[in-house]
Amino acid sequence: MSKQELPVADLNAVACCSPIAVRPMNAEQAAVVAPLFKALGDQVRLRLMSMIASVPEICVCDLTPAFDLSGPTISHHLKVLREAGLVDAERRGTWVWYRVKPEAFRQLGALLEISAAPAGSSAG
Amino acid sequence: MSKQELPVADLNAVACCSPIAVRPMNAEQAAVVAPLFKALGDQVRLRLMSMIASVPEICVCDLTPAFDLSGPTISHHLKVLREAGLVDAERRGTWVWYRVKPEAFRQLGALLEISAAPAGSSAG
DNA sequence: CTCCTGTTTTGAAATCTGTCAAGCTAGAAG
DNA sequence: CTTCTAGCTTGACAGATTTCAAAACAGGAG
């Protein structure tokens, strides 16, 4: 599980593009980035992400009881987060530990940056 | 249309909470914020958002031809963006102009900020 | 080996979403 | 008034998403 389990749609391509407020995204870039936002576009996943990102690492056994949801459902949401490349999981003995992948997280933040001037300066 | 058309689920509450990597979000905060991410979690909407955010304002007539989609579909996606509070629309004569709502956009960016340690400065 | 606990996978049901065709509304121009 | 164009709404449908129960899997303990 600590080994990467899928290609993650060339996540490095995210780093290639400007903040979305700087220049229009083409279809290809949007196809790479949209799934990241989509992964966070669910209450449960957003809370999971926040719980994971707030600490160095956290066990599924500490994640699950925070919700009124079944274990499989939490596991499913964690999988979505994993497949989006936002978190990483590692089994250590009985428990599985999750931690954030800071690159993906940082790139997502960079996408939302307002570069310099909001709507006045003419960008080339 | 320039008048706000719905309550936008107390968008100000977004400003109230720390970046998601700082402290775990509670269910209430997540319920406010998740729809914003969800709105951007679609290729078409992400491109629309990017096109709108890249310029001071833009006409629907310039948005639609950038996609292989029907007018109603684009209109639907723009409505989602509007209802999320991310953009604003105004009819001027024949055309409808869209522009970004910078507060919402900025707050979304703030949510993804990595507060102190960029997780790379000192390997932990 | 068996048993127990923690986590993931599978399978299925209910709900939500993206899309288009058809129809409607707002404004401009005759 | 009518007609034309730009954009929105409605209704419908295929496909995706969320959820749980049941089963499977991984590792520790007896």
Q: Which of B24, B35, B36 sits opposite A54 (nearest CB)?
A: B24
Nearest-Å Rg of the Cα atoms of chain B is: 16
pLDDT-derived band at B120 (thresholds 50, 70, 90) equals very low
Cα atoms in the Cβ-side hemisphere of radius 13 Å centred on A64: 13
CA of B73 to C1' of D13 (A): 15
Cα A123 to Cα A23, A38, B102, distances in angstroms: 9, 29, 17
pLDDT(B9) > 50: no
CA pair distance A42, A95, nearest whole angstrom: 25
First to last CA, chain B: 51
Q: Which of B21, B24, B118 sits opposite A47 (nearest CB)?
A: B24
Instruction: Please check whether strand D approaches the CB of B112 to within 7 Å.
Output: no
Q: Which domains does chain A have, with CATH numbers?
A: 26-111 (1.10.10.10)
Banded pLDDT at B21 (limits 50, 70, 90):
confident
Task: Tell me which chain A residues have a C-beta less than 8 angstroms from the C-beta of B22.
Answer: 54
- Tens digit of pLDDT per residue, chain A (124 long)? 443 333 344 444 456 578 998 999 999 999 999 999 999 999 999 999 999 999 999 999 999 999 999 999 999 999 999 999 999 999 999 999 999 999 988 889 999 987 644 443 443 2
Query: Residue B77, CA: closest nucleotide via C1'?
Result: C18
Question: At which residue do the structure tokens 């999320």 appear?
Answer: B84
In chain B, the residue whose alpha carbon lies closest to the alpha carbon of A34 is B41
Nearest Cα neighbor of B6 from B116, B80, B105 is: B80
Is residue B117 predicted with pLDDT exceeding 80? no
Tokens representing residue B85 in the block: 């509070």
Q: Which residues contact B15 (CB under 8 A, 6 or more apart)?
A: B107
Give the pLDDT confidence of B49-95 residue by residue, as tens digits: 999 999 999 999 999 999 999 999 999 999 999 999 999 999 999 99
DSSP output for A56-85: S-EEHHHHGGGSSS-HHHHHHHHHHHHHTT
CA atom of B75 to C1′ atom of D11, Å: 16
> Cβ–Cβ contacts within 10 Å for residue A84, how many?
23
B7: CB partners within 8 A, 6+ apart: none
Residues of chain A with C-beta less than 8 angstroms from the C-beta of B117: none
Closest by Cβ to B24, choosing from A30, A50, A109: A50
Q: How does strand B95-100 pair with strand B87-92?
A: antiparallel
Q: Is the CB of A75 under 7 A from strand C?
A: yes
Task: State the residue for tokens 């909407």.
Answer: B45
Per-residue pLDDT at A68? 97
Question: Which residues have a Cβ under 8 Å from the Cβ of A120 and sit 6 or more positions away?
Answer: B56
pLDDT over threshold 90, residue B44 = yes
- Average pLDDT over chain B reads 84
Query: How high is the pLDDT of residue B40?
Result: 98
Model pLDDT, residue B18: 84
- Integer angstrom CA distances of residue A39 from A64, B20, B72: 18, 14, 26
